[in-house]
Amino acid sequence: MSSFLDLLKIYQWALPASVVMATVLALIGGQWTARAKSTQIFVLGQGSSLGIVLGFVLNLILGTDFHSLNLILGLCLGWITLLISDFWIESRADRNHIYLTLFVFFLSLTYLITSITPALESHMAAAYFGDIAVMSDKAAQMSLVAGAAFGAFLFWRWQELSMISFQLVNHSFIHRNHRNKIFDIGTLILTTVAVQSMGYLYTMGSLFIATSFASLRSKNLQSYTTKVVVIASLGSVLGFAVSLASTELPTVPCILIGQMLIGFLSYTKK
């Protein structure tokens, strides 16, 4: 028991950061799902991931170690992806096929760059599958602050954002609302930070696992929101605890399976 408590002290920043980020990402995923834009967020995440990889390459070329450079390039490429999506792809009837093509293109570029840069091979494993247990305190603190700040905005404007999602999916022009722009920018920042600090698998899983289960038996918006928060937060705590109890198990798969388990329990509970 004492050794387990010692581990909790070691991960005093990583644990709350993973729980907060999972919860906020789940709320973001709920809004994107309501807007029928789930495929777009996958492309956004992969675009940000490619930008982060380009940042690593640039650091290798320059002989520097500026982690902020990875984040900046991830944000830039993610922003370009959002612009392409909003002003070109989204208006097309075959947009899902285009999103999938763009996703494969970004993924191919990422692996191409990795294959010609051997020093990135170990990074790619961490970038996709992640291991929150080895996340630095600085990265955890940045994730915690970013997640808490944007989470506060989401809870403050949740009903309004939900109404915007409803109107967007019905083809209104409400996307010009400035709060929706804040939501788009926040999504970009949180997704990029999560991909860089916790991995692509953690980010995509946290975006959609909770909302997939919460939407099954929710009677209203409040019930749905509560379930999303509970599934994401409790699932993350459960998964992280299991990973710490058995040091051979990686954190990210445990966290995502934990979210699925809590989601299944919430579904079976009447």
- Over the chain, what is the mean pLDDT? 85
Residue 120 has pLDDT above 80, yes or no: no
Residue 69 has pLDDT above 80, yes or no: yes
Average the pLDDT over each of 30-34, 115-119, 234-238 and give the range with the smallest value: 115-119
58-62, 86-90, 232-236, range with greatest mean pLDDT: 232-236
* CB 193, CB 252: distance < 8 Å: no
Q: What is the DSSP letter of 173?
A: S
How many other C-beta atoms are found inside a 10 Å radius of the C-beta of residue 83? 10
pTM of this structure? 0.90
According to the model, what pLDDT value does residue 270 have? 57
According to the model, what pLDDT value does residue 6 have? 66
According to the model, what pLDDT value does residue 126 have? 60
CA dist list (Å): 171 to 57, 178, 267: 41, 17, 31
Which residue ranges make up each domain of the chain? 2-268
For residue 21, give the nearest of 262, 265, 212, 199 by alpha carbon. Answer: 199
Per-residue DSSP letters for 90-158?
TTSTTHHHHHHHHHHHHHHHHHHHHHT-GGGHHHHHHHHH--GGG--HHHHHHHHHHHHHHHHHHHHTH
Q: Tell me: the pLDDT tens digits for 8-28?
A: 677 788 889 999 999 999 999
Q: Tell me: the pLDDT tens digits for 191-240?
A: 999 998 888 899 999 999 999 999 887 788 898 999 999 999 999 999 99
According to the model, what pLDDT value does residue 170 have? 63
Reported confidence tier of residue 262, pLDDT bands at 50, 70, 90: very high
According to the model, what pLDDT value does residue 40 have? 87
Topology, domain 2-268: ABC transporter involved in vitamin B12 uptake, BtuC (1.10.3470)
In the chain, the amino acid numbered 13 is W
Average the pLDDT over each of 75-79, 93-97, 136-140, 191-195 and give the range with the smallest value: 93-97
Query: Is 176 exposed, middle or buried, given 0-12, 13-18 or 19+ CB atoms closer than 10 A?
Result: exposed
How many other C-beta atoms are found inside a 10 Å radius of the C-beta of residue 26? 29
Q: What sign for the dihedral angle of Cα 128, 132, 135, 141? A: positive
